[in-house]
Amino acid sequence: MTRSDSSPAVSSPAALPTPDNTAHPIDRLYRALASDRVLAVVAVLVGAALLASLLLPQLPADRSEPEAAARWLAETAGQFGSLGGLMAGVGVFNLWNSFWFQALAGLLAFILLLRLGLAIGNALRRLRDPDPRAAASQAQRWPLHAAVHLEQDAGSAGLQQDLVNEGWRVVSTTQGGNDLVIAERSRAGVIAPILVTGGLLVVLVGLWLGQLVGWQESGLTLAPGETVVLANHPDSALSAGPDVDGALSEISIDRGASVSETVTFSAGGAARLDGIALNRRSQGPALAVSAAGPGGETLQLQRMEAQPESAPSLTLVFDQPRSEQVFLLPDRQLVFSIVSFPALPERGFSGPTFLVQAFRAGQREPLLNAFVDGDASLSVGEDMLHLSAGQFITVDVSYDPTRPLIWLGMALAILGVALALWRPAGQLLLSVPRESGHIAVQASLNPAWSWREANRWLAAWTATYGQEDQPS
């Protein structure tokens, strides 16, 4: 950096001193609510609530019915002893729908909106119409200050030109017997807070809109040959693809009128089609069961739970090790029990194995007792029981049309952080006396949070001009 007596790059005419707007009570309240401290407290509370939602069980999306939700909450609260009732009462098991969390998230959005207004006003003031006198009234609150003594040949004009040569935008005016110089280090750094704050606000708005217009269905079980209609999208139905090498990797969405689309799960178990997100939660063994009479006629089967209507075939899923499925053959007064095992090496079965038993009503001795590890046809008196082994998957299905909005907000926030780190903003105010001989220049620096070397830069700047007083 060199001294120069050339004319300043930019100058502004004299203007009346700008009053300190922070003296107004409403402005003080505005800035207090938008302060870093208030934002940090609210953000920590929201973060703690989100962490609790990850650590504590949350009401599944498929338990939205009041009775099912109340039953689930009662069972979950019972796991936490005497505190369970209190925890359920304050909504920690249903965080996203609890009033206090929504109020907290709303407060965070309100604070971000206030900060966005301040960031936009600050950027307009600093980039469009910088005012050295207004900056002078605020400089006493800036964190870094220094004083340097100069000879008259290195006055205001030389200091300004050196800053311009370094890429600073310089504006100057006069006040009393001093030249007031305000220099702006980075346009990108001034815009960065707008992008960060605006991006976070867009993310919150996207999450809020997603709760209003989006939906989710959890724990849908799909087995080969079965179709599940989406409750939130009755025109669409899901069906699993074929079992390939013991795994289900495809899923089809049927939209009626012979329109069907197939999507393949990624390695992480995720898939997406026309805005509908699919997440594979689990996978396990399944059996397709049917029965035929002596003449080959199809016999009707019936599940035990809730006594549903009879069907010519059933698909049984086994979502737990050693889990059991029971069904009926009403025409023969028979009860069938099938137990799934991961493996039975002691019986020579190294993979999924099923114990199939048949009982006549009122008897304890089984009519059928057999182990199978794949497709099989078993004789039960004069009838035949046909088993076809396969796999089932459990999927979570969600629809969130605001996802692009959320990604946009995240991109804006990341761009803002990148700009702040690449070219941090900073304001430098110089007060240069207009007198002969030795002059004492007062320097005040207001660096952005991302300008980590601001203190060192100010020390180097003052040292270049023969600094005598250390920065404070």
- Does pLDDT of 470 surpass 60? no
The tens digit of pLDDT for each residue in 205-220 reads 998 898 888 888 877 8
Which pLDDT belongs to residue 103? Answer: 92
The DSSP bridge partners found for residue 117 are none
User: For the segment 219-232, what is each residue's pLDDT rounded down to a tens digit?
Assistant: 788 877 778 888 87
C-alpha distances in angstroms, 45 versus 103, 104, 318, 406, 471? 12, 8, 41, 21, 37
Q: What is the pLDDT of residues 22-60, one digit of tens each?
A: 457 887 888 888 888 999 999 999 999 888 888 888 877
Range in 63-67, 307-311, 426-430 the model is least confident about:
63-67
Domains of the chain are 1-17+131-186+424-472 (3.30.160.110), 218-399 (no CATH)
**69 or 32, greater pLDDT:** 32
Q: Model confidence over 419-463: pLDDT tens digits?
A: 999 999 999 999 988 776 677 889 999 999 999 999 999 998 888
Is the whole model's pTM more than 0.85, yes or no? no
Percentage of the chain modeled with pLDDT above 90: 32
